[in-house]
Structure 1
């Protein structure tokens, strides 16, 4: 339990610290650095034998690389516009949609309605509503759903962690010219670079390694149930670290999405 809580807290804290570099590097620059750190960690762990990959193994890995980069970029861009708590809540609709799509139970239909109600509350029209930011959060959700499906396919075709490692490597290489352009146009400060690196370590390296160890002893259903509280962790971290306060309606929407995740996973376990 401590390890799972630490993993979630590390992930959201890393995203919050990374957002501190937005004024200098922008979301694009921070995501580029995060991709570099993720690639270093995953390649060290997975040790992919890239020359041995066939095209049947390469094409889903390449798609996974594209989704991986797009997911992080849209999420961080959403964080920049609507805040950490709302962005992470919207992103969590991705795995929830995957879980509900394969079910025909009435309870899961109720979970879908509950989650949809939460989204309506979060996206209700207001003078200050940032629809672009909310849209980016929904795109991140779609990317996460695609990420899950592609990871399953990659896992069946490429042994061990070689597939995700190869995808992370390709994604990092694709962000290399982007990182150079950002550095030339917006010369980074030491503090901004450190924040971006911290985001990569806390949001990629620590959660990946911790989750890898945790899943050896904790059932997948229990792990998934605990992961569903991440939007709440994100909202709390956003408030403590970034001073991003949420109103009653926002907390209601987040609670609806979290409850839909939790009930769906708990019901699946039983």
Structure 2
């Protein structure tokens, strides 16, 4: 439940920040926030940190999130947070396919079931949302006063 809440807050805040600027200025705010939240993983890794690992981590921390965050911010400017959330539900399936194709990773049947359930839930949510929108549009066509309230 905490993970779902975290994703929901992330999506809504990214959309909010994305609508506040013209370009990608919002990244100037979101990247440092992401860096601060990533510090949670530092204490458990303390014994394994070397200067080379720290330098590589710093470079990855600066470069890696900028591209995906920029794409997500741009996407959230053009689509609703519910549609974006549906696409986010497909990430585990895409990751599983890429892991298999690029790295040769095989998933256990229970893992495949979990990925399928998450993707199915996201797709089901999109179909339900589309059905509700279609019903509302039909109601407006049948009675235009419905749209005005």
Partner residue, 1:144 = 7
The CA distance in 2 between the partners of 1:251 and 1:234, in whole Å, is 11
**Which one has a bigger Cα radius of gyration?**
2
How far the C-alpha of 1:260 sits from its partner, in A, is 0.9
Q: Separation in 1 of the partners of 2:48 and 2:87?
A: 41
Equivalent pair of 2:92/2:115 in contact (CA under 8 Å): yes
Which structure has more relative contact order (CA 8 Å, sep 6+)? It is 1
Structure 1 residues 179 and 164: alpha-carbon distance in aligned structure 2, compared to 1, 3 A threshold: same
Instruction: Tell whether the 8 Å contact from 1:155 to 1:163 is kept in structure 2 after alignment.
Output: no
**Root mean square deviation, CA, Å:** 4.3
SS in 1 for 2:107: coil
**Could you tell me whether the CA contact under 8 Å between 2:86 and 2:123 is conserved in 1?**
yes
The gaps in structure 2 that reach 5 residues or longer are 134-149
The alpha-carbon distance between structure 1 residues 266 and 224, as it changes in their structure 2 partners (threshold 3 A), is farther
Say which of 20, 35, 52 aligns to 1:160.
Answer: 20
Q: Is the 8 A contact 1:225 1:266 kept in 2?
A: no
Q: TM-score, normalised by structure 1?
A: 0.34
TM-score relative to the length of structure 2: 0.53
Output aligned runs, 1:1-150, within 5 Å: 139-148=2-11
Instruction: Count residues with an aligned counterpart.
Output: 125
Alignment CA distance shift 1:264-1:171 (3 Å): closer
Return the offset for 1:262: 1.4
Q: What does residue 264 of structure 1 align with?
A: 125
